[in-house]
Amino acid sequence: MGLQTATAVLNDVQVHYCTNGCGPAVVFVHGLAEDHGSWRHQQQEFADHRTYAYDLRGHGNSTLGEAEGSLGQLRDDLVAFLSEVSGPAVCVGFSLGGTVVLSAAAQRPDLVTGVVVLGTSSVVGRTAAEFYLRRAEQATDPGEVLESLREDTSAMVTDSTVDIAELVAKRGEAIGDGRGYANAATAMAGLRGNPLTPELAAINCPVTVIGGENDAFCPRKAADILLDALPHATYREIPNAGHLMNVDNRHAVTTALRHALTDR
């Protein structure tokens, strides 16, 4: 049957998503300046699961709605997706998406049956918060946002064979007019004053934390904070990969995800 796309009205947003396969449900949540397409390879590989990958509000083909710039709102969007579209599922999130998944798992253990997070933080420091707020300010200026995407993308990739221009173009298309990007960046900046870390103790389902060997944006320290706070967590590392590990070493990411989905 292959990949299929659909839309659903959830909260105040028309959410675009892609489905594939049959079997246990898995919901993929992308990172900042991405869309559901960043998980296309995994959706094709995991046809023995019923996979869903949706566009966060204001990203890809999902509408923005009344954006609040908060992690809580992005979490509630995922909860609505699990409640009304996929049903209870293992949730896989990258970076921003991982933070959203952890928040949902702490809030709704009945809907999140397992967690896999890649390149994810539960708290950010002053420098990171300033970075996110600066990106939010630049988001609606087409010239500035593309320049910042070029700068950030180059720093997030370690594989010299990756076509950075092509990747930046995809990321630029994913954020559209930039308002959803600004909304999500503001939500991440909020982790400085309101970290998610204290809520992690409430997550009792299995959690796999995955880090990139050369990830400067979300280094091993961020993973250690998660591992210390989560009751049932294991760690896997993707070799030869920066923050965009699914670009740098997609095969290793797929293998790590396969282990995480089967070793439960």
Cα 215 to Cα 228: distance, rounded to the nearest angstrom: 19
Residue 127: CB atoms within 10 A of its CB come to 8
Residue closest to 84 by CA, chosen among 180, 11, 26, 24: 11
Q: What is the pLDDT of residues 212-250, one digit of tens each?
A: 999 999 999 999 999 999 999 999 999 999 999 999 999
**Spans of the chain below 50 pLDDT:** none
pLDDT of residue 140: 84
pLDDT of residue 187: 98
Contacts of 224 (CB under 8 A, 6+ apart): none
Cα 17 to Cα 244: distance, rounded to the nearest angstrom: 21
Domain boundaries, the chain: 4-122+196-262
pLDDT of residue 264: 64
Q: What is the pLDDT of residues 188-214, one digit of tens each?
A: 999 999 999 999 999 999 999 999 999
Strand, helix or coil for residue 65:
coil
Contacts of 240 (CB under 8 A, 6+ apart): 158, 159, 213, 214, 248, 249, 252
Strands (E), 80-162: 89-94, 112-118
Residues 174 and 33: beta-carbon distance below 8 Å: yes
Cα 25 to Cα 231: distance, rounded to the nearest angstrom: 23
Ordered strands of the 50-54 beta sheet: 4-10, 13-20, 50-54, 25-29, 89-94, 112-118, 207-212, 233-238
4-122+196-262, what's its fold?
Rossmann fold (3.40.50)
Give one word for 205, left, alpha or beta, with left for phi > 0 and alpha for psi -120 to 50.
beta
pLDDT of residue 1: 62
By CB atoms closer than 10 A (0-12, 13-18, 19+), residue 109 is middle
For residue 187, give the amino acid letter. A
Residues 52 and 118: beta-carbon distance below 8 Å: no
For residue 156, give the amino acid letter. M
pLDDT of residue 142: 87
Please tell me whether the overall predicted TM-score, pTM, comes out greater than 0.95 for this model: yes
